[in-house]
A and B are shown apart, each in its own frame.
Chain A
Amino acid sequence: MFKKFQPSTDIAGHTPVKSSIQRSIRASVLSQWKIEPETLEAIWPKKEGLVHVKCREHISIYTVHGEPLIFQHFDGPFYPTLKLLHKYPYILPKVQVDRGAIRFLLAGAHMMCPGLTSAGGYLPPDNAALPAGSPVAIHAEGKEHAVGVGITKLGTEEMRKVNKGVGVETATYLGDDLWALQTL
Chain B
Amino acid sequence: MGKKGQAPPPATIPAQAADPDAPPPPEPVPPVSVLYCAVCTYPPEYCEFGASLTKCKDWLKEEHPTLFDKYYSEEALQTKLGTLSLEAQQKLEKDVAKKEVKAEAKADAALKKKMASQITIKRIERNKRKHITSVFGLEAFGIDLKKAAKQFASKFATGASVTKNAQGLEEIVVSGDVSDEILEMIEGEVGVLKGIPTDNVELVEEKKKKGGD
Which A residues lie at the B interface, using CB under 8 A?
24-25, 27-28, 31-34, 36, 38-39, 41-43, 75-78, 86-90, 92-94, 99-100, 102-103, 106, 120, 122, 124-125, 128-131, 133-135, 137, 139, 141-147, 174-175, 179-180
Contacts and interface: CB of A to CB of B under 8 A. Distances in A.
B28 A38 contact: yes
Contacts of A129: 12
Interface of B: 1-10, 12-15, 17-19, 23, 25-29, 31-34, 40-43, 45-46, 49-50, 79-80, 83-84, 88, 92, 95
A36 B22 CA distance: 11
B34 A87 contact: yes
B99 to A, nearest CB: 10
Contacts of A141: 83
Contacts, number: 131
9 contacts: A32-B7, A33-B10, A77-B7, A78-B4, A88-B32, A93-B12, A102-B49, A142-B83, A145-B45
A28 B1 contact: yes
Nearest to B7: A77
A101 B20 CA distance: 26
Contacts of B46: 102, 106, 143, 145, 147, 174
A100 B87 CA distance: 13
